[in-house]
Structure 1
Amino acid sequence: MTSSKTMSKAAVKISGDLLSNPLCEQDQAFLESMTALDTAMKRMDSFNQEKVNQISKTVIDPLKKYSSVFPSLNMAVKRREQALQDYKRLQSKVEKYEEKEKTGPIMVKLHQAREELRPVREDFESKNKQLLDEMPKFYHSRIDYFQPSFEALIRAQVVYFTEMHNIFSELTDQIDQAGLTDEQRERENEAKLNELRALSIVADD
């Protein structure tokens, strides 16, 4: 969008410079053409700004809001991973005591390890279930979230290019009174250039 705004502003600058050209003071027809061009470029810039603002509100801002969800999502995954590591560590401790000879002290330690394991296992299972339930919902909802932004982008482009077609059609009607084809204009320009080349002040030494 930055390049679009830059090009639009550049077009306005060019038309403004042409309008301030001394030729406009000497040739009424040239002045009228440059005035029509300047008006068209300013209209184009205005519609372009509207398009940029619309896209910013309906596409860029929603994408920024969507991306802001990811830090929380990543944190939930990390918390689940940490809970899994704690669960594995304590589960390994329980299994170690279960493999030993069932003496009194070992049975006490086994009981303590199982008690320590229980809340850690419940915490992991809770975090794991939450991710298993919500991650698919998050993944599948992405299309529903992006669809309105995509539609808004298309509408903004349709409106903009429709207006551009209207602006330049009107401009063509104003300045293209001769109704020449591109080939005819090319031949006309070449003839004018040959006249300039024939002048003694531009003749080759």
Structure 2
Amino acid sequence: MSWIPFKIGQPKKQIVSKTVERDFEREYEKLQKLEDQTKKLHKDMKKSTEADTAMSKAATKIAGDLLSNPLCEQDQAFLESVMSLDTAMKRMEAFNQEKVNQIQKTVIDPLKKYSSVFPSLNMAVKRREQALQDYKRLQAKVEKYEEKEKTGPIMVKLHQAKEELRPVREDFEAKNKQLLEEMPKFYNSRIDYFQPSFEALIRAQVVYFTEMHKIFSDLTDQIDQGGLTDQEREQQNESKLNELRALSIVADD
């Protein structure tokens, strides 16, 4: 696995079963993917709210720029339409800011808090791996003395090696047991943790777009000129453009 910092000589005795090691790797890989997905979602949500804010500010600025256009001084009907647009854009920006604030509190902040837990989890896994390496090193040491001729000095060293091994083995087994029990619990808790956030996200979007429908329906009623269709407006613009092209100042040389 990518988090194993180094390798040492392996003891002949298998100290961790392949089943246990596979279970551990499977659970940890699930948490690594969860960490990556949480970070990505946090980043994407921030981009989304930033884009929403930029869009509403740009729309409000466009309406403000139109209000300062000299055409508004010359055409009362156009001025009234632009004023209606400016009001609608300001309402839209206010509702959008409410939505962004709600998403920040109920989605983005919880995602950030959730991500902050993973460094501690990863450190616990590293400590377990270090304990495993120490366990293997001392087990190999015990096996080395067990293979030697049973002289008095060797037996003393063997006894010392076993005494040194015992607390290290217990430490690894405790760390391993704790992680195997708690990693699945942590992974499964994601549903209960995130469900309220995602429900809040959906509600915020529903409220916002419901208000947008009302705002733009009202705006349509205010600025609709004679019920022209988009095609009729396009034809009207094309006709005016052709008149401009006919002017000598824009004629091709």
TMscore range, shorter length? over 0.9
- Which residue identity is paired with 2:99? K
The 10-residue stretch of structure 1 (126-135 or 160-169) with the greater mean CA deviation from structure 2: 160-169
Question: In structure 2, what is the Cα distance between the partners aligned to 1:26 and 1:187?
Answer: 23
Question: In structure 2, what is the Cα distance between the partners aligned to 1:88 and 1:204?
Answer: 87
In the TM superposition, 1:109-120 aligns within 5 A as 109-120=157-168
Question: In structure 2, what is the Cα distance between the partners aligned to 1:102 and 1:201?
Answer: 111
The 10-residue stretch of structure 1 (130-139 or 187-196) with the greater mean CA deviation from structure 2: 187-196
1:35 aligns with 2:78: no
Unaligned runs of 5+ in 2: 1-48
Match of 1:80 among 123, 128, 136: 128
Corresponding residue for 1:145? 193
1:126 aligns with 2:126: no
Q: How many residues align?
A: 205
Unaligned runs of 5+ in 1: none
- Which residue identity is paired with 2:165? L
Corresponding residue for 1:105? 153
Question: In structure 2, what is the Cα distance between the partners aligned to 1:103 and 1:147?
Answer: 66
Question: What do the CA deviations read for 1:84-124 (whole angstroms, capped 9, x no partner)?
Answer: 01111111111111111211111111111111111111100
> Which structure has the larger Rg over C-alpha atoms?
1
Corresponding residue for 1:189? 237
User: TM-score if structure 1 supplies the norm length?
Assistant: 0.94
SS of the residue aligned with 2:150? coil
Two-structure CA RMSD over aligned residues (Å)? 1.5
Corresponding residue for 1:155? 203
1:93 aligns with 2:133: no
Deviation at 1:61, TM superposition (A): 0.7
Corresponding residue for 2:68? 20
Question: In structure 1, what is the Cα distance between the partners aligned to 2:69 and 2:88?
Answer: 18
User: TM-score if structure 2 supplies the norm length?
Assistant: 0.77
- Which residue identity is paired with 1:3? A
- Which residue identity is paired with 1:44? M
